[in-house]
Amino acid sequence: MLGDVLSESMFLPSLDVQTKEAAIDRLLECVCATGKVRDRAQARADILANEGRMSTGMQHGIAIPHAKSDTVDEIVAAVATTQAPVGLPGPDREQARIFILLLSPKAGAGPHVRFLAEIARVLKHRSLRQRLIEAVDAVSMRRVFIPADE
C-alpha cells in the first residue's frame, strides 16, 4: 500500500520550517499538486481541526497530521523531514523531525488504518528513522519505506 500512495514526488527532504503549521502547509502543497485534493483550504481546515482535537505528535520525533476529509476520494500522503526539530512534541516530549501528512476519504476506515499501520511498522526502527532524517533526496527517503527490490 505504501508504494501505491507514496510516489517519489511525495517526499520532501530537509524542510526549513519553524512551525508545525508551516510543515503541514508544505506537505499539503505537495499532495495538492497531485490533483487529488479538490479543496486545499478545506483539507487544511480538516487537518488543523484534527490537530485541535488531539496532538498528532508521536514518539521518536514523528508527527502524523491527518484527517478524514470530503476533499479526497482516495488516500493521499506526503512525507517530510525537517532541518531542525519542530514544536509538535509527542508523548516522549521529543519535537518532530519526521512529518507524514495523510488525507483519506471519510467513507471507510480500513485503508486509513492500514496505511497508518504500515507507516508505524517502518518507523518503529530507530535505524530507519535515522536514514530518513539523513536522506538528502526523495529517492533515498522513499527507499526507507519502499526498498528498491519491491
Please give the full DSSP string across 10-42, using - where no structure is assigned: GEEEEE--SSHHHHHHHHHHHHHTTT--S-HHH
Q: What are phi and psi of 121, to 5 degrees?
A: -60, -40
Q: Cα separation of 9 and 17, whole Å?
A: 19
What are the domain boundaries of the chain? 2-145
pLDDT for the residue numbered 89: 55
Handedness of CA 145, 138, 127, 60 (dihedral sign): negative
pLDDT of residue 59: 81
CA distance 111 to 74: 9
Whole-model pTM: value is 0.91
Place of cell 499532495: 31
At the top level of CATH, the class of 2-145 is alpha beta
Exposure letters 116-150 (e unless 16+ CB within 10 A, then b): bebbeeebeeeeebeebbebeebeebbbbbbeeee
Instruction: Provide the residue count of the chain.
Output: 150
Q: pLDDT 10s digit of each residue in the chain, 150 long? A: 788 899 999 999 999 999 989 999 999 999 999 999 999 999 999 999 998 887 777 888 899 999 999 999 999 999 999 999 887 555 667 788 999 999 999 987 788 889 988 998 899 999 999 999 999 999 999 999 887 654
Which pLDDT score, from 0 to 100, does residue 7 have? 92
Helix (H, G, I), strand (E, B) or coil at 136: coil
